[in-house]
Structure 1
Amino acid sequence: MTLLAPQKTRTTLVRTVLRLVLGAFLLLAGISHLTVNREAFLAQVPTWLPLEGDFVVVASGVVEIILGAALLALGRFRVQVGWIVAAFFVAIFPGNISQLVTQTDSFGLNTDLDRTIRLLFQPVLVLWALWSTGAWKAWREYRTGRRTDGGN
């Protein structure tokens, strides 16, 4: 049994580090929405979206700042924050698709190959959010009837 403890500790440390990295990434991306990369993010807002593009950039930037801060300062709502961050990554996916379909150059993504590679990275972000917060593990335990929270 003691042989398993170091592995669990390593896994917990890796999850924590990756959660903090993701939180910092979101926090910085959100700040850049409101400052230096505002136009680059505006180029990614789908033209079919029935909202003002600048509003979408500012709102998504604010959401990213909040989510990044939540990931950095997780408490007992760690799993819920993981699901919300994953849902956010799903919600912004149409912007990435739009950038590919409209062949919009932004953030140095100036070829279809570059834009396609970015699309493929989006599911990685979803999985990253779910794994690093323990949301995926909590869902699996819920589905199998095993609960590690004492039944609360």
Structure 2
Amino acid sequence: MKTSTTQNVFRIILGLLMIVAGIGHLTFQREEFQAQVPRWLPTSEGFMDFVVVASGLVEILLGLAMVLLVKYKVKVGIVLAIFYVLIFPGNISQYTNGIDAFGLDTDLKRFVRLFFQPVLILWALWSTGALKHLMNKQK
């Protein structure tokens, strides 16, 4: 799938942001990311830390794939979009449980954050050409 220079730039930016977020999971933002582990999962510190580390590794791998696997960018974009859908319950949990993290220290801020997940999903699909690919499949 051919993508424009603008799409390629945004794909690389998103990939780099994913790598930085993944590194944050493993290091300087580890506790912050624990706030997004859904509270319907086991809340033991060890399990929550495992979820944060595992999702951080996945984010790093997806970020690297966004930047490097140009030949597979449509597939990578779809996988990243699915990943964003899968982690969305963590954002919902942070909102519904009123958990402060990442400067989201009010219900309004946590609620507004929920609307950014669809933006990330569309960004992943658009920047990789996956959105056009999926729309053409529908025809």
TM-score bracket for this pair, using the shorter chain length: over 0.9
Which residue matches 2:38?
46
Which residue matches 1:103?
98
When Rg is computed on C-alpha atoms for both structures, the one with the higher figure is: 1
- C-alpha RMSD over aligned residues: 1.4
Partner Cα distance (1:103, 1:75) in 2: 39
The alpha-carbon deviation at position 50 of structure 1 amounts to 4.1
The alpha-carbon deviation at position 117 of structure 1 amounts to 1.0
Aligned length, in residue pairs = 135
Q: TM-score, normalised by structure 1?
A: 0.85
| 3-state SS, counterpart of residue 101 of structure 2 | coil
Q: TM-score, normalised by structure 2?
A: 0.93
Say which of 55, 58, 64 aligns to 1:63: 58
Structure having the higher helix fraction is 2
The alpha-carbon deviation at position 143 of structure 1 amounts to 1.9
Which residue matches 1:72?
67
Partner Cα distance (1:112, 1:136) in 2: 32
Which residue matches 1:33?
25
Which residue matches 1:143?
138
1:35-80 deviation digits (Å, cap 9, x = unpaired) = 0000000121112114711110000000000000000112321111
After TM superposition, the runs of 4+ consecutive aligned structure 1 residues lying more than 4 A away are: none
Q: Which moved more, 1:71-80 or 1:123-132?
A: 71-80
| 3-state SS, counterpart of residue 108 of structure 1 | coil
The alpha-carbon deviation at position 127 of structure 1 amounts to 0.3
Partner Cα distance (1:100, 1:42) in 2: 14
1:98-137 deviation digits (Å, cap 9, x = unpaired) = 0000000001100011101110000000000000000011
In the alignment, is residue 21 of structure 1 matched against residue 1 of structure 2? no
Gaps of 5+ in 2: none
In the alignment, is residue 113 of structure 1 matched against residue 108 of structure 2? yes
The share of aligned pairs that are identical, in percent, is: 56
